[in-house]
Homo-oligomer: A and B are copies of this chain.
Amino acid sequence: MSMALLFPGGPVAAAEAALARIAAHDDPALFLARILAEAVRARAAALAAEGPQGRRLYGLPFVVKDNIECAGLPTTAACPDYAYTPSEDAPVVARLLAAGAILLGKVNLDQFATGLNGTRSPYGTPRNPVAPDCIPGGSSSGSATAVAAGIAAFSLGTDTAGSGRVPAMACNIVGLKPSLGLVPTLGVVPACRSLDCVSVFALTVEDACRVLEVIAGPAPGDRYGRAAPAGWRAAPAPQPHWRLAAPLPDQLVFDSPAEAALYEAALARAGGPIQRVDIAPFLAIAQRLYDGAWVTERSAALRGFLTERPGSLHPVTRSILEAGLDKRTIDAWDDFHAAAEARRLARLLFEGVDALILPTAPGLPSLADLAAEPVAANSRLGTYTNFVNICDLSALAVPAGFRPDGRPFGVTLVGPAFAEARLAGLGAALHATAGVGLGAMGGTVPPPPAPPELGPGELPLLAIG
């Protein structure tokens, strides 16, 4: 398990390793609030004195996207004038601390989690440790770069339209977007409350799943919470055979032939026949995310702030959110009925396949590319991520190799709600064969768990959750 390999020797050594890597990484755009080194050391010493006590994340350092509340630290959502300091941890943070993890601080993001690129922050753009001339991805930019740089064993991001997946590709790490309602969103600054998910970044699939199992489960008062099916687990569930799908060839867009080749190679590594399916309805519903009702959900969440202090917003964020102010409900229902239809089509699709394998994004823009087209390049990044939350699906982004020029590429496995274990089983296998190191840390991706062996004539039992 890579977290333990990267942070060996117990909590005190792990804390020192994290602090040393923060210093070595030396990115002023990463942390928006840091726990003082003395406090990190004190927490580690206290954990060491207590011993593991069976805690699942004992002594592992982590960072939290700065739209999730941590007691006593400001929550800015990358908007200085929005900042407030909560007195309690969000349930997800409290669960990680109770599991023995060591909080290092709050990290940068695209303002109000609106964006997929990582440059929409007044605090600067976190440096991509894998491809420094490229965007780090967003909106969970700091959460991904901290993991890729080996600073944090894992991190929390959020994901409404791809913010937990695009940065994983950008940073050559794993991004796990859980099912809607599986992880409490209490204490999270809302983007689209009905679609928001807390997500997990880690160097390996197994690590991400371990974290997810700690943070998943109902929390009192969580109106968008849902109970997982009985027996739900996140741990990778390997299968001897997979029923896999990929988009029709003309629905695949890439930035260069290199990404296309890496994608086809990932399909080949997945093994077995791949069913080509028409994803046009999903691409169509994604268009409505920023043109229709859901942009207004973002505007509604920040309504007072948006109307009273518009000058406090990043100009791109402001233009996006202001577009939501005047939309009419009669048009929104077209979006909702279309979403219901897309969810129906997704249910149909996943009756026949275990996972849809998509490019995480068509390719990774450089910082210069993004600056040249700040909205269009961002939109393109969401091509294969935007529809997932609207369609009530789970998703897992895994690295899939590098272009000849060194830019990372990734694929995302999409499944129905509560299919995390199944996606993880396939994702761990794909990751292990991708020929990539762990983030920017090199090393070797560990082998996936072995599938159960079947006797002659036995059929694999396929189960969701």
**Smallest CB gap from A338: residue in B:** B223
A52 to chain B, nearest CB (A): 34
Tell me whether A330 and B330 are in contact (CB under 8 A). no
- Copies of this chain in its oligomeric complex: 2
Tell me whether B329 and A193 are in contact (CB under 8 A). no
- Asked if A368 lies at the interface with its beta carbon under 8 angstroms from chain B, I say no
- Asked if A450 lies at the interface with its beta carbon under 8 angstroms from chain B, I say no
* Number of chain A interface residues as a range: 20 to 34
Tell me whether A297 and B333 are in contact (CB under 8 A). yes
Query: Within 8 Å CB of A232, what residues of B?
Result: none
- Asked if A269 lies at the interface with its beta carbon under 8 angstroms from chain B, I say no
**Distance in angstroms between the alpha carbons of A83 and B336 in the assembled complex:** 26
Partner of A344, one of B223, B343, B344: B223
Of A160-168, A320-328, A355-363, A413-421, the stretch lying at the interface with chain B is: A320-328
- Asked if A317 lies at the interface with its beta carbon under 8 angstroms from chain B, I say no
Tell me whether B224 and A329 are in contact (CB under 8 A). no
With contacts A296-B333, A329-B293, A330-B300 known, is A223 near B341, CB below 8 A?
Answer: yes
Query: Within 8 Å CB of A98, what residues of B?
Result: none
**Distance in angstroms between the alpha carbons of A372 and B330 in the assembled complex:** 31
**Distance in angstroms between the alpha carbons of A296 and B325 in the assembled complex:** 17
- Asked if A340 lies at the interface with its beta carbon under 8 angstroms from chain B, I say yes
Tell me whether A194 and B330 are in contact (CB under 8 A). no
- Asked if A222 lies at the interface with its beta carbon under 8 angstroms from chain B, I say yes
**Smallest CB gap from A298: residue in B:** B333
Partner of A333, one of B223, B300, B326, B331: B300
Partner of A340, one of B223, B329, B336, B344: B223
Chain A 203-254 interface residues, beta-carbon cutoff 8 Å to B: 221-225
Query: Within 8 Å CB of A296, what residues of B?
Result: 329-330, 332-333
A332 to chain B, nearest CB (A): 4
**Distance in angstroms between the alpha carbons of A326 and B332 in the assembled complex:** 12
Tell me whether B330 and A325 are in contact (CB under 8 A). yes
- Asked if A117 lies at the interface with its beta carbon under 8 angstroms from chain B, I say no
